[in-house]
Amino acid sequence: MAGTIFFSDDKSWAGSSSEFNLALDALITLVLDSRSKMQLVEISEENIRMLDIEGLPERGRAEVLRYLADGRHWEAAKEMIIGGEEWVDAREKPMKELSALAVSELKASEE
């Protein structure tokens, strides 16, 4: 089963359930906005395989986009991976694709 992160109507990222959970868990550790953090925790606990970034409160949405765009989610996620370097290597490409989509979304929102 896969998980999807929606940025906007025309941009989304789909990863395996483990990639989605890893990204979500990393965001939970990073996000400071309490309402947004609660939503992320609920998605994780309820095993909901979808995160709509536009559905987060404004402050949390900005945080999530920033953390995804600058790669902090990946840095946090690497610390959570206990399976060894091959597990890190296997998830690097999808996490970088997630970052690229966030960068694209940030640029589009600035225009």
Q: Is the dihedral of CA 32, 111, 8, 106 positive or negative?
A: negative
Which residues fall within 8 angstroms of residue 84, CB to CB, at 6 or more apart? none
Number of domains in the chain: 1
* Whole-number pLDDT of residue 44: 96
| CA–CA dist 5, 27 (Å, integer) | 12
Structure tokens at 83: 């399976």
- Residue 38's CB is within 10 A of a number of other CB atoms, namely 14
The residue range of the domain holding 67 is 2-110
| Rounded CA separation 54/61 (Å) | 7
Helices (H), the chain: 17-30, 34-45, 58-69, 72-80, 85-110
Task: Give the pLDDT confidence score for residue 79 in this predicted structure.
Answer: 86
pLDDT along the chain (111 residues), means of 10: 88 94 96 98 96 96 96 90 76 93 90 70
pTM confidence score? 0.90
